[in-house]
């Protein structure tokens, strides 16, 4: 029977480890670590993510602020906000919630965040530290995957790991973190020749390609550990029928939509030795690692 890798349980472990670090900083510096989140526009999913982040910060005793602006904000206006946050001594971490409205230059905004406050780990400075194996702020989702594997006693060293997806946010840093754990790593993507065959070479398969249930049984090596990073919303009955069994279809009919990762759930459960569910797998770890990054940034600045 496949092991379900419970991201909620690991998230709770990380949060408990954060609490004494927050208390120690309050005792040392007279203040809590500070996190500022900048939310621009009216993207409903982004608003939910930001609420979850601030709720977790509140639980852990972090100082937190959410700066909201409507979609009329210009790139220059956003850069001014970021510059102000960079200058504040009570703010240790800055997160610019993506996606931004299309008229805003997202690259300029992310580059404007001071590297030492880049708790998303997206700045080229932090990407460079990661690529050269130096300590630094790591992208939250890939770092959470490593925690999930380690805390479930899943060996990484010496194993063949395949990462499907090459984004700067997940795919590339995921490959580098696995490499640092002494895995033999292959990065592949939608244009890879014989993608199913390449994926079947993975003893650890990380799916981060952003396509609902694209990875099916033919992509999965029997007994592989499958980490599904995808988070997609299924909104049509036809797509739901392609992906889900009868019991989940009843859920779809009741709710009108369902979340699914990049891997077909039934195939993952059938073939893998261990796998992450969606939801409840990798997702909860992203926010936990964001909190840990904020605390780490604060500790370095004190």
Give the catalytic positions in this structure.
Answer: 53, 97, 120
Q: How far apart are CA 8 and CA 278, in angstroms?
A: 11
Rg of the chain taking only CA atoms, in angstroms: 20
Cis peptide before 30 (omega within 30 of 0): no
Residue with tokens 């840990």: 292
Please check whether residue 105 is in contact with residue 76, taking contact to mean a CB–CB distance below 8 angstroms: no
DSSP codes, the chain: -PEE--HHHHHHHHHHHHHHHHHHHHHHHSS--EEEEEEES--HHHHHHHHHHHHHHHHHT-EEEEEEE-TT--HHHHHHHHHHHHH-TT--EEEEPSSPPTTS-HHHHHHHS-GGGBTT--SHHHHHHHHTT---PPPHHHHHHHHHHHHTT---TT-EEEEE---TTTHHHHHHHHHHTT-EEEEE-TT-TTHHHHHTT-SEEEE-S--TT-B-GGGS-TT-EEEE---EEE-SHHHHHHH--HHHHHHHHHHS-EEE-SB-HHHHHHH-SEE--TTTSSHHHHHHHHHHHHHHHHHHH-
């Amino acid at each position: 029977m496949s092991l379900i890798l419970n991201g909620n349980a690991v998230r709770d472990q990380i949060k408990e480890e954060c609490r004494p670090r927050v208390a120690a900083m309050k005792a040392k510096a007279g203040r809590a670590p500070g996190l500022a989140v900048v939310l621009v526009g009216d993207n409903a999913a982004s608003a939910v993510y930001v609420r979850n982040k601030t709720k977790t910060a509140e639980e852990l005793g972090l100082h937190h602020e959410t700066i909201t602006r409507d979609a009329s904000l210009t790139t220059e206006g956003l850069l001014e906000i970021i510059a102000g946050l960079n200058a504040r001594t009570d703010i240790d971490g800055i997160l610019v919630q993506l996606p931004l409205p299309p008229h805003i230059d997202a690259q300029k905004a992310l580059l404007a965040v001071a590297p030492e406050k880049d708790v998303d780990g997206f700045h080229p400075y932090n990407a460079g530290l990661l690529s050269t194996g130096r300590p630094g702020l790591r992208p939250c989702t890939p770092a959470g995957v490593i925690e999930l594997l380690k805390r479930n006693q899943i060996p990484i060293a010496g194993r063949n790991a395949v990462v499907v997806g090459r984004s700067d946010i997940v795919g590339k840093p995921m490959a580098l973190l696995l490499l640092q754990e002494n895995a033999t790593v292959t990065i592949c993507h939608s244009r890879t020749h014989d993608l199913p065959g390449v994926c079947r070479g993975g003893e650890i398969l990380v799916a981060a390609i952003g396509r609902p249930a694209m990875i099916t049984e033919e992509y999965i090596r029997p007994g592989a550990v499958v980490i599904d990073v995808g988070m997609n919303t299924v909104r049509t009955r036809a797509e739901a029928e392609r992906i889900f069994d009868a019991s989940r279809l009843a859920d779809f009919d009741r709710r009108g939509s369902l979340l699914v990762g990049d891997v077909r759930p039934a195939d993952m459960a059938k073939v893998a030795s261990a796998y992450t569910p969606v939801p409840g797998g990798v997702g909860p770890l992203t926010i936990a690692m964001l909190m840990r990054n904020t605390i780490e940034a604060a500790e370095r600045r004190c």
